[in-house]
Amino acid sequence: MNTQVVNTQVASGPAPVRTVVAYGFWIFLLSDIILFSALFASYAVLSAQTAGGPAGRELFELRHVGAETLCLLFSSYTCGLGLLSIGRRRMSAFYLSFGLTFVLGAAFLGLEISEFAGLIARGAGPSRSAFLSAFFSLVGLHGAHVTAGLLWLCFLVGQTYAKGPRDFVRRRLLCFSLFWHALDIIWVGLLTLVYLMGAR
């Protein structure tokens, strides 16, 4: 009975703008995931081609990778909480959550940059072997996405401060949160295929 009422409501008029915007952004995210899948495939094909150089077993430090994973998971969580607080117009909770999201995202990026710098210093840069080229382009593209996400986050927090929690601001924050959660999904694939399987 109740679901029927909801169904006719949805079918009778145009969907709410928020639903349409989220759908469009979801399509973009899926195309981004397909872009990543091409790099995942090339990594999977090239991961054994070390050209006599170091393999993943000698390079990856799982403690480091675990810290990166925790940063990303908790920043996703705070991002979700921030979205809930702006929906309820709790502005200070929103700023706190998004501030934490930024700090955790920046911590992830710092860990990744230090990992890359360490690899290059050990002579295991992207030009060493096909395996390392594939590794740096795949993990680096994810890092570039996180960097873009952090810039976007700063911009959106500034906009929220300037314009208040209006409808269009909240829709942009929704899109950002979808982007941030999708980066987590890609990181799960990276963690499994690159680090956990590579370190064995």
The contact mask relative to other proteins for 76-115 (x = CB under 8 A, - = no) is xx--xx--x--x----------------------------
The contact mask relative to other proteins for 36-65 (x = CB under 8 A, - = no) is -xx-xxx-xx----------------x---
For tokens 């950002």, name the residue. Answer: 176
| Residues between 127 and 186 that touch other proteins (CB under 8 A) | 167-168, 170, 178, 181-182, 184-185
For tokens 């929220």, name the residue. Answer: 160
Burial 59-98 (b: 16+ CB within 10 A, else e): bbeeeebeebbebbebbbbbbebbbebbeeeeeeebbebb
Distance of CA 22 to the CA centre of its chain: 17
Contact criterion met (CB below 8 Å) for 146 and 183: yes
Which of 23, 117, 151, 158 is the binder for other proteins (CB under 8 A)?
23
Rounded to whole angstroms, the Cα distance separating 86 from 56 reads: 43
Residue 75 binds other proteins (CB under 8 A): no
Residues near other proteins, by CB under 8 A: 3, 6-7, 9-10, 14-23, 26-27, 30-31, 33-34, 37-38, 40-42, 44-45, 62, 66, 69, 73-74, 76-77, 80-81, 84, 87, 167-168, 170, 178, 181-182, 184-185, 188-189, 191-193, 196-197, 199-200
